[in-house]
Amino acid sequence: MRERSMLATATLLAMTAGIGCSASGPAFQKVAVPEGKSVVYAYRPKSIFGAAIQPGVSCGQPGPGLKPGGYHAFVLDPGTVTCSASTESTSEVQVDAMPNGSSYVREKIGIGFFVGRPHLEVVDEATGEREISNCKQQ
Amino acid sequence: MRIDMKGAVGALALVTLAAIGVGSASGLALGVLAVAAAAGARRPVGSSGIVVLAMSLVGCMQTATRPPLEHVQARPLGLTGRVEGEHARGLPLSLERAASSTTDVVFRYDERVVHDHSELPPALMILLTSPLHLLGVPTGRDTVTASAELTVLRGPREIGRYEGDATVSRIYGLYYGSTLRELEDRARVEVRRVIDEALYKNADHLAAATDGTQP
């Protein structure tokens, strides 16, 4: 009996954590790129692994901590932009932000010693567009 | 003192869940080992752990997926051109040598890099390998693919188009391989060699297409 109640509590906690840690803003919508500017989308696909942590992602300017299933659009001047995120280690990638173009940076949380580590990846436009369509704005 | 083993197993299962939530290897290892020990397993990471260790090491060796290229010797291309496109981070050697601002030939060069980061499936990591990662067993693999495209134009006429890609990858663990910069640089160098090779092979055709009438 006690085992069952422990299991139920654990399941409930996991579900609550899963719901509480997911992004809940408006569904993805492409940003209209201002003339001569560039947009870098940072997004984090849903995963229960590392769901409790939200390392802040910056791309040329500070951004929010992305929750699982969340994204943020950075409107920037074109050029080489450095995106980074940190917990116990830092992940850093460089993005070639094209004028009037969009770039996509995916954040995954990998295993860490004490806490999960962010891994940023520049992905191609097709992959980025497909995956970000399931994300919500932060 | 009497220990309530079932209660302990439940509590440790909660610790494991929390560790999953924050992606902590030490928390996972603690939870997995403790749950296994409380459940009566004498060797929780015994033979299965060794199998996973072997799989990790075999599966995660550093490789470049493209066969090694011949060493490209820089030499005159037989024509010069204006280089268009973003190239703050470098160019193929052949284009660097052939760059000129007083010519009607244009080299339109575009280079892109994408990353891929793969880890063992979370379930496997949670159940078996988290203690091993603390000992240095790789946790995943980073792959960088660089793609390049070069279009050679004379006025509006395209006289050559070359494409190439190069993929390099590397394993990483909790104590090594945390930055992608070096991997990215290697992928860029490789793809530039691909373009160099293609361009040099086709140099005669390009020179003929300009009829030796370049300024």
Residue with tokens 């693919």: B145
Out of B89-103, B111-125, B146-160, the most confident range is B146-160
pLDDT tens-place string over residues A58-88: 999 999 999 999 999 999 999 999 999 999 8
User: For residue A110, which residues of chain B lie inside 8 Å, CB to CB?
Assistant: 23, 117, 119, 139-140
pLDDT higher than 50, residue A125: yes
| Chain-chain contact of B27 with A94 (C-beta, under 8 angstroms) | no
User: What pLDDT sits at residue B29?
Assistant: 73
Of the candidates B10, B22, B181, the beta carbon closest to that of A52 is on B22
Tell me if A117 and B23 make a contact (CB, 8 A cut-off): yes
pTM: 0.76
Residue B169's alpha-carbon distances to B65, B118, B144, B183, B184, in angstroms, are 8, 11, 6, 7, 9
The pLDDT value given to residue A103: 95
Cβ atoms of residues A129 and A14 within 8 Å: no
- Chain B residue whose CA is closest to A16: B21
* B200 vs B212, higher pLDDT: B200
Nearest CA in chain B to A1: B6
Separation in Å, CA of A31 to nearest CA in chain B: 22
Provide the pLDDT for residue B1.
52
pLDDT for B47 equals: 47
- Quick one: CA dihedral B167, B168, B174, B180, positive or negative? negative
Determine the distance in angstroms separating the CA of B215 from the nearest CA of chain A, rounded to an integer: 32
Q: Which of B6, B13, B119 sits opposite A2 (nearest CB)?
A: B6
Cβ separation B21–A50 shorter than 8 A: yes
Q: Is the pLDDT of residue A43 over 60?
A: yes
Per-residue pLDDT reduced to its tens digit, B116-132: 988 877 777 777 677 88
Residue A87: which residues within 8 A CB-CB, separation 6 or more? A53, A55, A112, A115, A116, A117, A118
Mean pLDDT, all residues of chain B: 77
Distance from CA of B98 to the nearest CA of A (A): 24
Q: Which band of pLDDT confidence, cut at 50, 70 and 90, is reported for residue A112?
A: confident
- Terminal Cα-to-Cα distance of chain A (whole angstroms): 42
- Average pLDDT of span A84-96: 91
CB contact under 8 A, B114 and A14: no
Higher pLDDT, B28 or B110: B110
Mean pLDDT on A16-37: 77
Predicted confidence (pLDDT) at residue B14 exceeds the cutoff of 50: yes
